[in-house]
Structure 1
Amino acid sequence: MRQEPLSVTGGETLASALRRRLEADIADGRLDPGTRLDEQDVAQRFGVSRTPVREAFRLLASDRLVELRGRQGAVVRSIGVHTLIEMFQVMGELEGLCARLAARRASPRQLERMTAIHARLEAAAESGPDLFYDVNQEFHEAIYEASCNVFLAEETRKLRNRVATYRRRVTRMPDRIRDTIREHAEIMDAIAGRDPERAHSVMRSHLTLLGDNLLDFIAAFE
């Protein structure tokens, strides 16, 4: 196994740096739900001892990203369809609040950044769902930043990372890319127009699976 460099930022422990890397692997779909994480394999991958790996697994378990199964080790958590739908509903409210606050607080620079990312998103529509999803994440991150509420951004990001693998599946649903571009334009219009109520409403609708989209998602999930 080829060893990968592990960057440790100021104030981070080895365990928290490992947690960050493994969380990114889960969010990016490199570690699918149900994947077993082996202590020794992870330790060899990053060139560390097994002690920080165990602590990283505990940190991931506290965020409900993995399950600790005794001698079986850690397993990337799978989410049932009904729980997942509930999580999407909560996600819609959290991101809706981010959009509401952004409509009140976004600076001209932040509005320009959203517009630039949206233009890149439109260009990425022809490059397939993976690149589109990555740029889409940037767009949502820009709204978290524009909310000017660090705690809200952190909590929203935590839940987003728990459902990230499944949000990728939504991106692959028929017409979802086209609909996402249209919905993002509505969100930007509400934020730039300083309309908090509308910003919240359109963002919530953007994240919540309803009607045919919900039925299509359940069919694909099962």
Structure 2
Amino acid sequence: MTGEGTGGANEVSPAGDTGTSARRTAAGAARTGPAARAGSRPEVGARAGAGVGVGAGDEVGVGVGAGDEVGARAGAAAEAGPGTAAESGPGAAAETGATAEAAAGTGQVGTERAEVVRTRALLDRPGLSAGEREILRVLGRAEDLGSVGSRIVVSLGAAIIEGGLRPGDDLNSVDLARRFHSSRTPVREALAVLEREGLVEIAARKRPRVRRLGIAEVREIYELRAELYGLVSRRIVRHCADGPLDALRTAQADLESAAADGDLERYFWLVVGFRNTEARLAANETVRGVLDSVGIRTLQLRHLSLSLPGRVETSVGDHRRLLKAYVDREADLAAALTRSIVRRGLAALEGSGWNGFSD
């Protein structure tokens, strides 16, 4: 969206330095992942300051300290339980075993089916924009979308990541309460959620506003995304069976179609979907949570990068080669390609003259 920490005390080690924390989070990015939503919710979170050290191979070291939040999504595990055994009696043991074996082949033991069904139902809701769908997916707000607080979170979050609200824009709680026909309490709670996601900044005795990103922080985020997607690609090659790769084949076909039609908006959100599918297939929920968190902070910039001349053509070719590396089981090549895709996006931004959002 090398390492990036997410709080003053949190650090992330560069790739290759197993267990060595190195890079400080950019000031103000105090969250590694969405807030932990435990209890009856299907997400599981670990409330702690954490350093995510990306080391050799598939290893990710998570150091737990004090202060921040790491969202570790467990999909719908709380709802589905381990595997599908709850639906089976003793006579269905063979079927349950086969199901578990198939799930293990994709690295999605037990939770995959329930998560895919739940996510698909969420994303198929009529009347939602692409940004609203992405906010709902990242925050896991499908179950309580009818509440006024969730409506505020989704509406403001989508406006931020789609560019309707620009970095530095004021968020007046009185005006928002009037707009959503609510008291100020749900507005304050919604803004606090968006602050935890790094989309809003709330300073003492100042009006909340859309958070700005400086060029130094953007570079750190892209560096972190490049290394984590390298890990994702290695895990897909090593642990994902051939069948689940069909989801990426379909995604690539859609990318090719959107690129041929010159439909930038559709192409952009299909790229976001391709990346989300990769993170799901890699079956490492801690990494997925971190990618979700830093990814939504930079969606405006990722859109800007793809909108530059020649970028869509380059991007579709890069994803085509990446898919081939997955199919051919070339772990090193896949990791190198995916890191190159992320770094190419940053280079395009820097080449465009963009140097951060400033006051």
Instruction: Establish whether TM, by shorter chain, passes 0.5.
Output: yes
Within the candidate set 46, 50, 69, 2:184 is matched to 50
Q: How does 1:1-222 map to 2 (within 5 A)?
A: 9-10=142-143, 15=149, 18-125=152-259, 126-209=261-344, 213=348, 215-217=350-352, 219-221=353-355
Per the alignment, do residues 130 and 210 of structure 1 end up closer, same or farther by CA in structure 2, a change over 3 Å counting?
closer
Do the aligned partners of 1:89 and 1:208 also contact (CA within 8 Å) in 2? Answer: yes
TM-score normalized by the length of structure 2: 0.55
Q: Deviations over 1:95-130 (max 9, x none)?
A: 222222112222434211111111111111233322
Q: What is the percentage of aligned positions where both structures have the same residue?
A: 25
Do the aligned partners of 1:107 and 1:146 also contact (CA within 8 Å) in 2? Answer: no
Q: CA RMSD in A?
A: 2.8
Do the aligned partners of 1:23 and 1:161 also contact (CA within 8 Å) in 2? Answer: no
More RCO (CA 8 Å, sep 6+): 1
Q: Deviations over 1:126-176 (max 9, x none)?
A: 333222111111111110111112221121011000111111110112211
TM-score normalized by the length of structure 1: 0.85
User: What secondary structure, in the 3-state scheme, does the structure 2 residue paired with 1:64 have?
Assistant: coil
Do the aligned partners of 1:88 and 1:207 also contact (CA within 8 Å) in 2? Answer: yes
How far off is 1:221 after superposition?
4.4
Per the alignment, do residues 51 and 78 of structure 1 end up closer, same or farther by CA in structure 2, a change over 3 Å counting?
same
How far off is 1:210 after superposition?
8.0
Rg (Cα) greater in structure? 2
How far off is 1:185 after superposition?
1.0
Unpaired runs of at least 5, structure 2: 1-126
Do the aligned partners of 2:305 and 2:345 also contact (CA within 8 Å) in 1? Answer: no
User: What secondary structure, in the 3-state scheme, does the structure 1 residue paired with 2:312 have?
Assistant: helix
Unpaired runs of at least 5, structure 1: none
Query: Which amino acid in structure 1 is aligned with residue 254 of structure 2?
Result: R
Mapped to 2, the partners of 1:40 and 1:9 lie a distance apart of 26
